[in-house]
Amino acid sequence: MFDKFESYKVVNMKQDMKFIPARYELWQRGQMTNSGLTISPVTIRSISDGEKEQYQVSFDDSSLRSEITTLNFFDIFVTSLDRLQLIIIPNATNSNNVALQMLKMNLGPTRNSKNFDYDEPFCCNLFFQQGQLVKVTFSFSNPEKLLELYIE
């Protein structure tokens, strides 16, 4: 269904990406807790201060402002089996998220510490079909929830 990638390869982002979803779903504890329509774009930019590169992801939908911050910064951009991932992997955190622990074991920490607020994702997943970005998800850890954005 989605394009395949070799896992844990660092992605060199050459240009900004823009994704305009049509709808969203919010999931918590395996249950959909909210869904609806959206046309708010997701914009992904690479930002460098000369020493360190970060990835800025912006998404501002007024109906989801209590669920996700409008501007998020991620430390690393890597491939996974069926997606590209923008991730924050803290060595010390307020989260006991299993996915974060596995990423830390496989990739190592990307920063010394980070305490996640309710509306701060630790990961942004990008799903492609035939090279076209078709789905963006945000994974949260405090508490665990998932925001999925779809083009159709």
- pLDDT number for residue 49: 79
- pLDDT number for residue 96: 84
| pTM assigned to the model | 0.94
Residue 72 maps to a domain: yes
Residue 146 maps to a domain: no
Residue 31 maps to a domain: yes
Question: Which stretches in the chain have pLDDT values below 70?
Answer: none
- pLDDT number for residue 152: 79
Residue 107 maps to a domain: yes
Q: Which residues contact 42 (CB under 8 A, 6 or more apart)?
A: 18, 19, 20, 21, 57, 58, 59, 136, 149
State the residue range of the domain holding 76.
Answer: 17-130
How many structural domains does the chain have?
1
- pLDDT number for residue 33: 97
Q: Note the pLDDT tens digit of each residue in 58-96.
A: 999 999 999 999 999 999 999 999 999 999 999 999 988
